[in-house]
């Protein structure tokens, strides 16, 4: 697959994905891309979150890997975030199963982290360390940031 075609397919898949932040035992936000969500923005303000990133270590280079490999990568990313003393919450990337994109027909949900008060350059460095094609970064609403 040519690089530009792959990026187009990935962009479609990433933009149709639901990015879900779990911030309580049964509380969550589906984080909007390219639009504002007043309830989410209030939560950000109440928790003094100036910027944030959603990063998954699952399926490096947008290639499927085994669940055991992905879990090991998740543990490594969690350890890195703890070592860097970053505040984070569990999150999940939920691929839309009916958008018609070739990329998402059987793509599994991916465990991730919602990392608070992180700069775009710090998030980019972490995402690259885990061989990710992209991640979501936001101040209020999220945007896809390409790693390469």
What separation in angstroms does the CA of 16 have from each of 29, 48, 49, 51, 113?
16, 28, 25, 22, 19
**Is the entire prediction scored with pTM above 0.95?**
no
Share of the chain above pLDDT 70, in %: 91
pLDDT per residue as tens digits for the range 82-92: 999 999 999 99
Q: What is the C-alpha to C-alpha distance for residues 65 and 46, in angstroms, rounded to an integer? A: 38
Q: What angle do CA 70, 72, 74 make, to 5 degrees?
A: 70
Q: What pLDDT shows up at residue 63? A: 92
The mean pLDDT of the chain is 90
What separation in angstroms does the CA of 143 have from each of 16, 24, 62, 106?
12, 24, 18, 24
């Amino acid at each position: 697959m040519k690089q530009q075609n792959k990026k187009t397919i990935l962009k479609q898949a990433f933009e149709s994905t639901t990015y879900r932040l779990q911030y309580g035992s049964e509380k969550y936000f589906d984080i909007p891309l390219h639009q504002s969500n007043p309830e989410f923005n209030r939560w950000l303000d109440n928790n003094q979150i100036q910027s944030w990133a959603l990063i998954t270590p699952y399926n490096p280079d947008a290639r499927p890997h085994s669940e055991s490999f992905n879990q090991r990568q998740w543990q490594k990313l969690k350890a890195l975030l703890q070592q860097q003393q970053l505040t984070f919450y569990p999150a999940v990337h939920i691929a839309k199963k009916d958008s018609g994109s070739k990329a998402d027909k059987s793509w599994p949900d991916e465990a991730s982290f919602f990392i608070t008060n992180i700069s775009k350059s710090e998030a980019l460095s972490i995402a690259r360390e885990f061989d990710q094609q992209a991640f979501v970064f936001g101040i209020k609403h999220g945007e896809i940031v390409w790693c390469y």
